[in-house]
Amino acid sequence: MERYFLVLIVCLGLAFQSSKSTEIDSVYIYNTYSKIARQIIQKAMADSLSWEKLAYVCDTYGPRLTGSKSLNDAIFWAEKEMKKDGFENVHLEEVMVPNWKRGEEYCEMVYPRNKVFKISSLGHSVGTNGKLIEAPVLVVKDFDELAKRSKEVKGKIVVYNAPWVSYGHNVQYRFHGASEAAKYGAVASLLRSVSPIGFDMLHTGVMGYQDSIPKIPTASITLEDAELLQRLQNRGITPKLKLKMTCETMPDTISYNLMGEIRGSEKPREIVALGGHSDSWDYGEGAQDDASGFISTWEALNIIRSLGLKPRRTMRNVIWVNEESGTRGGIAYAEKHKNEPHFLVFEFDSGVFEPLGIGFTGDEKYLTILKGITPLVKEIAPDFSIKKGGGGVDIGPMMRLGISGMSLSTKGNDEYFWYHHSPADTPDKVNPEDLNKCIAIIAIATYIYADLPDFISTK
């Protein structure tokens, strides 16, 4: 019994020391970096030059579809600007990317009346082989209704009129809808645009096929047209559509990941990589998705560099390519740099609104330490917090190798999906003040992480 109590006392003592240690680390963050944080915030909030840079990219190069000349031209411009900014080791790395072309697209309701529909072919969809498909319509709310009415599907165009729940829920009809309809004999599939609002606006995005199921053309239509077809069907009318799509997938082509660095002062081999993606869909200019992401991380490092700050570890800005339709940039980066000792990967791809928090996936002790950042940013983000769970599509391949991941969340919620993958994703949707706040928080969080001293480092 005496031995039991002795062990208990030792364990309690160690637990107390551990708790005290993490508390000291959090206090250390505040005491060490509060002055630097104020400098970063002051610099970030001083003007609208970052927004001007974002607007320049969107206005000058327009939509940046993977495989397009406009995308590569934007990347080449960014490379030149990074060199002008004074970053070290600025260079491009070739990535073979998908090369899907939209072509022409046409959709018209021909029964019970004539009405031309707006239509957006989905990325990687096949076309109609130069033919005009004319077929009756079957409208369903979800995959369960499709299965229940499977005997009615053959020879028809299936229309998914799924009410908005969330992006994660509704995007399943965009990605899997064609194959689910094709396995019951549908000749094409359409879906209500993946957005919480209508306003006769189209939203596009990538889709996928199952190899064992015939490939049929698929596209999005507006909320208003999906609801029209639904009402007609509810009245016992079977609408009929004409559909033509000339989209096709060409051979893969060359594009690039772009990166530039601030070299670490003490542990330069260890990397904190942060960035967003350069590509967008071809209907909008990709201001929120994701010019805002790659401009924010680029400008965050620019502030750190301009203030003469030298973190212990190397900070690398990465502008990944092809996030939207294949993640080839993220995969290529992980393959090429997997043997470099990455300390952290950070991605911003959640839209520019008021900053809400940092999500972190990694060692629990770092999560506790990072909470010391919260009071440093309260003046520009009063509701800010550090939470468990961070990541992103482009940094996913690195995180699967065991690297810690971090991301910034904002208060956009459903509002982000008003513009997402649509013609409305233009610079005027990005608030310059919110952009500056995001940049400041990214700079503070990633700089502090890159500068963590050895006594709380795992490397």
Domains of the chain, earliest start first: 30-100+251-456 (3.40.630.10), 103-246 (3.50.30.30)
Q: What is the pLDDT of residue 299?
A: 98
Spell out the long-range contacts of 265-268 with Cβ–Cβ below 8 A and sequence spacing 24 or more. Answer: 265/310, 265/311, 265/312, 266/312, 266/313, 267/312, 267/313, 267/314, 267/459, 268/313, 268/314
Q: Does position 372 have pLDDT exceeding 50, yes or no?
A: yes
Dihedral sign computed on CA atoms, order 453, 454, 457, 459: positive
Query: Using one digit for the tens of pLDDT, what is the confidence trace for 50-67?
Result: 999 999 999 999 999 999
**pTM, rounded to two decimals:** 0.91
Q: Does position 20 have pLDDT exceeding 50, yes or no?
A: no
Asked if 172 and 89 count as a contact pair (C-beta separation under 8 A), the reply is no
Segment 367-380 shows an average pLDDT of 92
Q: Which of 6-15, 56-65, 346-355 is predicted with the least confidence, judged by mean pLDDT? A: 6-15
- For this structure, is 323 an active site residue? yes
| Residue 453 Cα distances to 116, 267, 311, 415, 437, angstroms | 63, 10, 10, 39, 26
Q: Which position among 323, 335, 340, 347 bears the catalytic label?
A: 323
**Residue owning tokens 């002062």:** 265
Q: Does position 16 have pLDDT exceeding 60, yes or no?
A: no
> What's the pLDDT band for 455 if we cut at 50, 70, 90?
low
Mean pLDDT of the chain: 93
Task: Provide the phi-psi class of 362: left if phi over 0, else alpha when psi is between -120 and 50, else beta.
Answer: left
* Stretch (H or E) spanning 256: strand 248-262
Helices (H), 98-201: 143-148, 167-182
**Residue owning tokens 């503070």:** 444
How far is it, in rounded angstroms, from Cα 441 to Cα 1? 53
**Residue owning tokens 């690039």:** 256
How far is it, in rounded angstroms, from Cα 175 to Cα 194? 11
Query: Using one digit for the tens of pLDDT, what is the confidence trace for 72-110?
Result: 999 999 999 999 999 999 999 999 999 999 999 999 999
Q: What is the pLDDT of residue 261?
A: 98
How far is it, in rounded angstroms, from Cα 180 to Cα 211? 12
Q: What is the pLDDT of residue 4?
A: 34
How far is it, in rounded angstroms, from Cα 241 to Cα 263? 59
Q: Does position 280 have pLDDT exceeding 60, yes or no?
A: yes
Q: What is the pLDDT of residue 365?
A: 86
> What's the pLDDT band for 5 if we cut at 50, 70, 90?
very low
The residues pairing with 240 across neighbouring beta strands, listed in sequence order, are 111, 136
Segment 332-358 shows an average pLDDT of 97
Q: Does position 182 have pLDDT exceeding 90, yes or no?
A: yes
> What's the pLDDT band for 425 if we cut at 50, 70, 90?
very high
Q: Does position 125 have pLDDT exceeding 60, yes or no?
A: yes
Half-sphere exposure of 148 toward its Cβ, with a 13 Å CA cutoff?
7
Q: What is the pLDDT of residue 368?
A: 87
Helix (H, G, I), strand (E, B) or coil at 318: strand
Segment 17-37 shows an average pLDDT of 70
The residues pairing with 255 across neighbouring beta strands, listed in sequence order, are 95
Q: What is the pLDDT of residue 362?
A: 95
Q: Does position 223 have pLDDT exceeding 60, yes or no?
A: yes
Segment 166-183 shows an average pLDDT of 97
Q: Which letter, b or e, does each residue of 98-118 get, where b requires 16 or more Cβ atoms within 10 Å of its Cβ?
A: bbbebeebebbbeeeeeeebb
Q: Does position 34 have pLDDT exceeding 50, yes or no?
A: yes
Percent residues over pLDDT 70 in the chain? 93
Q: Does position 405 have pLDDT exceeding 50, yes or no?
A: yes
Q: What is the pLDDT of residue 413?
A: 75
How far is it, in rounded angstroms, from Cα 24 to Cα 165? 43
Asked if 209 and 180 count as a contact pair (C-beta separation under 8 A), the reply is no
Q: Does position 126 have pLDDT exceeding 60, yes or no?
A: yes
Segment 406-434 shows an average pLDDT of 93
Q: Does position 201 have pLDDT exceeding 50, yes or no?
A: yes
Q: What is the pLDDT of residue 414?
A: 86
